[in-house]
Structure 1
Amino acid sequence: MSERPVLVVNADDFGLTTGVCRGVLDAHAEGVVTSTSALVVAPAFRRHASALAASGIGVGLHVALVGEDPPLLGAREVPSLVDRRGALAPTWRHLVARAARGAVDPDDVRREAEAQLAVLRSAGIAPTHVDSHQNVHIWPAVARPLLALAVDHHVPGVRVPRSRRWTASGVGVRVLGARLRAAVRGHGLLTTDAAAGLDEAGTWDETSLVAAVHRLAADGGPAELATHPGADPDPERDRYRWGYRWADELDALCRPGLREAVDRCGFVLGDFGDLSPASGA
């Protein structure tokens, strides 16, 4: 294990589309991406799972409890997660509103997450970490069953999102993120000491990525840089109206200047499985 701090450069949403899958694998082969979070409910995951398993990239489970794609389980199995049509809440705001009312059953969260984990493992992938689509696991009612899942299924790491913003949502992320980090530590799981990418989701370029690496290095310790690369053309992506600049992020992640910044700041690239137990201690 290197004494240099680990930088996990994670590409979210593997499986969303063919272009996103290609972008993640290209950013690993040609750039600095060392880790991805797999969205197994998304349409392209099964088509590209074998390439993912063969790539050598660290893979986490991107638990989907919100979003455009349906859950693996039906309404009778996870009634508190879906509407009358069996659809998940469209965004984190909708799910958090339900959770705040006590209307999200942690057992439903656990059942759906276990079904998604089984898909990942059936592809021959041993996950390095757990996180969630739109980072809803920062909410305690979601975090508790997912942390228990990680412990029971021997998944070593958990993402802890951070925000630098002083907006209401940014302060909420700071408070809930600190609680999540303490819970991760209490369960004996691994995480990073710092992270970037929540505030910047879908907007990275080379300049902002290099600046983020320098900020993370100044914070000290292991860190995560969350990104969203994707290759063009990608007509499948039209159904996801997020406004992300996937191709720009892919280009930035493969720039030699970014790799030079990682080296200059004293990081070693790795995935969540490369973190030491002291991370988050």
Structure 2
Amino acid sequence: MLKLIINADDFGYSRAVNYGIIDAHEQGVLTSTTLMTNMPGAGHAYELGRKHTTLGIGVHLTLTCGKPLLSDHTTLVDVDGNFKKLYQYQGKFHIDQDELYREWKAQIEAFYRSGLLPTHLDSHHHINSLEPMIPVFIRLAKEYKLPVRNNIKDKSMLEGVVTTDVFEYNPEVMLADAKTIHKKYAGAGTIEIMCHPAYLDKSLMDNSSYATPRLDELYTITAPHTKEKLQSTNNFNLINYNDLKGEVNKS
């Protein structure tokens, strides 16, 4: 039986994103999400999370969107105090790992203060998978005893933490038939499929380079044929990261 975690990134980005993620869970096959604790919609996301207790919610550690929670950074921000953009982490760059640790720890602690318990850690724009960020990311995962997304190329860095066997970047795999999905992941037991379902609002349209495709993803996740296929207990078991805790990676 193939275990699937279908995770929506960007919970907390905006109200429209939040409502899209909740509908993807309540009306579709979404089992998990990760929350951006530094974004304007975070408070709304916490409120929704407390009401929808079957949705697994982790922390979407952020370094390339919005403002940091702490105000004393110099290597993480631009002159206006906003996080640097993703392109500024391409090629050569300098980052103070103590600043990164304190900021990401503050984001995790903000989540705990909401009264929710995080299921796992990942990051916005996969920034955690860049070499200078990996040690901080793994340090925090071990410190808080939280599972992580399996998006780090050097799998030896994941030793001692809980993760899935496979991480799938492309939500379009949900369109394939059950036989094709099983063949694609032959030998794996647990898969995380990343997605970005959402409704649209001005905040998302003005600030995200990935906006309108989120509507298509929401439709795919809630479509009757998707639910019939992925909710079939003969083929798949839909889980979230809470179901993986204790399964430490030893690769």
TM-score (norm 2): 0.88
Decide whether aligned partners of structure 1 residues 266 and 45 sit closer, same or farther in structure 2, where only a CA change above 3 A counts.
same
Shift of 1:48: 3.0
Give the corresponding residue for 1:247.
215
- Of 225, 234, 237, the residue aligned with 1:268 is 237
Query: Does 2:17 match 1:20?
Result: yes
Q: Which runs of 5+ in 1 are unaligned?
A: 162-176
Cα shift readout 1:60-100 (whole Å, capped 9, x = no counterpart): 11111112x111111xx321111222121111x31243xx4
1:195 is paired with a residue whose SS is strand
Distance in 2 between the 1:240 and 1:39 partners? 14
Larger relative helix fraction: 1
Give the alignment of 1:186-265 within 5 angstroms.
188-197=160-169, 200=170, 204=172, 207=175, 213-214=181-182, 216-232=184-200, 234-244=201-211, 245-262=213-230, 263=232
Give the corresponding residue for 2:156.
182
Cα shift readout 1:183-226 (whole Å, capped 9, x = no counterpart): 222xx2111111212xx47xx49636979844554352200000
Q: Which runs of 5+ in 2 are unaligned?
A: none
Distance in 2 between the 1:209 and 1:12 partners? 24
TM-score (norm 1): 0.79
Cα shift readout 1:140-198 (whole Å, capped 9, x = no counterpart): 2111112111211222x11022xxxxxxxxxxxxxxx331x32222xx2111111212x
Query: Does 2:87 match 1:87?
Result: no
Q: Percent identity among equivalent residues? A: 27
1:120 is paired with a residue whose SS is helix
Distance in 2 between the 1:59 and 1:8 partners? 12
- Of 60, 85, 93, the residue aligned with 2:58 is 60
Contact 1:192 1:279 survives alignment (8 Å): no
CA RMSD of aligned residues (A): 2.4
The size of the alignment, in residue pairs, is: 247
Contact 2:33 2:56 survives alignment (8 Å): yes
Query: Does 2:43 match 1:46?
Result: yes
Decide whether aligned partners of structure 1 residues 32 and 184 sit closer, same or farther in structure 2, where only a CA change above 3 A counts.
same
Decide whether aligned partners of structure 1 residues 229 and 119 sit closer, same or farther in structure 2, where only a CA change above 3 A counts.
same
Amino acid in the other structure paired with 1:95: Y
2:110 is paired with a residue whose SS is helix
Amino acid in the other structure paired with 1:249: E
